Amino acid sequence: MIIKINLRDQVRDYLLVEMITGKLKTGKTINLAALSRDLNVSVTPIREALTQLQQAHIIKAVPNRGFIIAELDVKEAEDLYGLVANLEVMAIENSEFNDEDIVKLRNQHQVFENAQDAISRIQADLEFHRLLTKGYENDLALQILNDLKTRIFFYEKAFTNDDSFYNKSDNQHDSIIAAIADDNVPTASLLLKMNWMLILNYVQKKLTE
């Protein structure tokens, strides 16, 4: 039983990496038989991993097609970004930051600023937000955040490749770090929510053009 669970989790992690690196795209059917051959495992842990991802709303099951990465939708985007913003605000309001945390945030912000392509920039941004919330001692909330942001990746990959858009996000990152360094959590929380809403507004505009 332990081996079975480990295999399921390994398959799940593999699929998440394939999504975050852009190898699995929206609308693409996930082929169980091909995965079984590629990973050299039976279809059972693959199906279990896919079911987990479906429950996390990262993929969906479609009759006669199997599991696919769902197309993008305005209502889903609003739900996703709103929930992530609120969960992250709750996380930083219940976290303590030390000097080492501030240094890590600043270093990661530099990685974000220096990213050379859209996927690298999105990954750097998601890692910045992970560092912001990693001190929250609620493993369930952090797992939910991780799942939600895996889905968010597809929205950002599709729409947020405009450098001028990222310049605004750069400024907000700087302000969030400064507020945390000053132990001004209310301001950091407000700026963090504004950061997610900036992205949401941009995505909404692109989805309705």
73-129: pLDDT as tens digits = 999 999 999 999 999 999 999 999 999 999 999 999 999 989 888 888 888 999 999
2-68 adopts what CATH topology?
A: Arc Repressor Mutant, subunit A (1.10.10)
Specify the 3-state DSSP secondary structure of 135: coil
DSSP state of 68: E
Query: Each residue of 25-46: pLDDT tens digit?
Result: 888 888 888 888 988 888 898 9
Nearest Cα to 57, choosing from 150, 159, 142? 150
Structure tokens at 43: 């279809």
In angstroms, the Cα distances linking 7 to 14, 18, 31, 109, 168 are 10, 16, 17, 34, 41
CATH class label, 74-207: mainly alpha
Is the pLDDT score of 2 beyond 60? no
Delimit the domains of the chain by residue range. Answer: 2-68, 74-207
Domains 2-68 and 74-207 equal at CATH topology level: no
Q: Is the dihedral of CA 63, 68, 73, 77 positive or negative?
A: positive
